[in-house]
Amino acid sequence: MTVTNTMTDILITNGTIITQNEDRQIITEGAVAVTDGRITAVGSADRLGAETSPARIIDAERGAVIPGLINAHTHVSDIFLRGTFAEGRGLYDWLFNVKQPALFEMQPEEHALAARLYCIEALRSGTTTFVENDTALDWTDLDPTRRKLDVYAEMGVRNIYGAGIRDLPPDEGFEQLFADITAHDPDSVHPGPGALIVETEDALDNTTALIEEFHSEGGRQSVWPAPATLATTTADALRGAYRLAEEYDVMTTTHVAEAKAEVRERGALSSIEYLRNIGCLGERALLGHCVQTNARDIRLLARTGTAVVHNYRANMRLATGFAPVASMLDTGVLTAIGTDNSILNDTSNVLSDARAVATAHKGYHQDPSIVPAQKAFDMVTCDAAAAIGHADTLGSIETGKQADIAIIDLEQPHLTPAPDPVHALVYGSQGSEVETVLCAGTVVMNGREIVRMKTPLPELLTDATATAERILKRAGIE
């Protein structure tokens, strides 16, 4: 039989291919062919070695070859606040006395440095796609946004930028609550409860302009409208954001039902029912948190095809409660995992969060069958891809999909033996085992070295530490 050699940009060979396809197929001694940024063949190393003529061969050295991980909910600039405050703060105490004061003091070049540090951490743990929720977006100054997006493009990572929208001025009760909470840290810089509020039409027009400037259909950069919370956004803005998502074929993302205070404020109508009533549930909505939800809410999410992001570690750190993820999964709610804030997590390693999700819910429900390792891995790969509207292009290693791929060294004492590689990755990996990362077919990390790094890592880390200290000093955070 005559074998025709197909020109191929990259052949990843000699690995265990964890495809995450519909059958969850695992190919031992497998290979993946990549051309023009997409996966062109998946199969045995022997067959693809004979059938392709690659310009470059990457030897996986018997490691695991996995889809690039997807972090479906995160806050990038917050990374400079990691480890900066004493434990014991609740959600609003942390938000108004730590997060907001620091973010309001950050300069554009500091946002850019935060973005670079974040990308390095994400790529070195195998994450190729993240959804950034920029809820502290100041529409009067988009330089920080542009600087961050430039960094993402430079680093070669796939990012979705959620442009934060706030158009609902605080009422008298919330202003008093803000005053009471900020009295805890009177020396911090407090921008005020009405900061970042814009007119509804201005918010939607500005979001449209940002989408048209930066959104790249089929590329590595996307922009979504991101109403910050239900407490800070009008129904008109929420509906307008959903219309924009439909018009530009993107999605919306919003923080929903994170704390009990939201339930008390909304009264008889739950947050999920409210979104249903105003037409903002459905395939264009990605809801972060959904901790304070009941069985009826979960049925509404399932019936409308609304996706949820489980931010487990952040919820635990702030003691906002256990999101009913087990019920969501049982009911068919599409659920992904997000690392949320680096201040609360304290890492951006989404596979580490998958381990936490796979273990904690077992203990909470006293049921060892809840959230098995495979489901937790799905929640950062194929399920996450579907949740962010990219089921056809991301989340699995299949022909025709984007070549977002990570290669993980399994020959580690803590991963030996590993008869089930998915089990080993979820329960045993630490993140430091990731050796090589491709995004859209481009090698962005090789031998744990970030290919597009312009500054030596030790120098960048020193700069980041000093920058974080300056921000805290300016914000009056101790």
The pLDDT of residue 100 is above 50? yes
Whole-number Å distance between alpha carbons of 46 and 49: 5
The pLDDT of residue 266 is above 70? no
- Residue 125 near residue 157, CB atoms below 8 Å: no
The pLDDT of residue 425 is above 90? yes
Whole-number Å distance between alpha carbons of 330 and 324: 10
What value does the mean pLDDT take over residues 284-289? 98
CATH topology for 6-62+402-447 is Urease, subunit C; domain 1 (2.30.40)
- Residue 250 near residue 223, CB atoms below 8 Å: yes
What value does the mean pLDDT take over residues 284-298? 97
pLDDT at 120: 97
Lowest mean pLDDT of 11-15, 290-294, 317-321, 368-372, name the range: 317-321
pLDDT at 218: 80
**Exposed e or buried b per residue across 266-286, where buried means at least 16 C-beta atoms within 10 angstroms of its C-beta:** beeebbbebbbeeebbbebbb
Domain ranges of the chain: 6-62+402-447, 74-387
pLDDT at 1: 34
- Of the pLDDT bands very low, low, confident and very high (cuts 50, 70, 90), residue 121 is very high
State the CATH architecture for 74-387.
Alpha-Beta Barrel (3.20)
pLDDT at 87: 74
Query: Is 74-387 the same fold as 6-62+402-447?
Result: no
| Cα 97-101-105 angle, rounded to 5 deg | 165
Higher pLDDT pick, 343 / 123: 123
- Residue 279 near residue 247, CB atoms below 8 Å: no
pLDDT at 410: 97
What value does the mean pLDDT take over residues 241-258? 97
Host H or E run for residue 378: helix 373-378
As a whole number of Å, the CA-based R_g of the chain is 22
Task: Determine phi and psi for 160, rounding to 5 degrees.
Answer: -120, 115
Q: If you ran DSSP here, which 8-state letter would residue 105 be given? A: H
Higher pLDDT pick, 148 / 216: 148
Burial class (CB in 10 A: 0-12, 13-18, 19+), 430: middle
Higher pLDDT pick, 192 / 199: 199
What value does the mean pLDDT take over residues 270-294? 97
Q: Side-chain half-sphere of 466: how many Cα atoms within 13 Å?
A: 6
pTM of the model: 0.97
What rounded mean pLDDT belongs to the chain?
95
Nearest Cα to 160, choosing from 352, 452, 389, 396? 389
- Of the pLDDT bands very low, low, confident and very high (cuts 50, 70, 90), residue 4 is low
- Of the pLDDT bands very low, low, confident and very high (cuts 50, 70, 90), residue 407 is very high
pLDDT at 263: 60
- Of the pLDDT bands very low, low, confident and very high (cuts 50, 70, 90), residue 308 is very high
pLDDT at 5: 74
Q: What is the DSSP string of 111-160?
A: HHHHHHHHHHHHHHTTEEEEEEEETT--TT--HHHHHHHHHHHHHT-EEE
pLDDT in tens, 51-78: 999 999 999 999 999 999 999 999 999 9
pLDDT in tens, 344-382: 888 999 999 999 999 999 999 999 999 999 999 999 999
Percent of the chain's residues with pLDDT above 70: 98
Question: 378 vs 21, 293, 311, 373, 422, CA distance in Å?
Answer: 10, 23, 15, 9, 10
What value does the mean pLDDT take over residues 110-119? 98
Host H or E run for residue 40: strand 38-44
Nearest Cα to 163, choosing from 143, 181, 139? 139
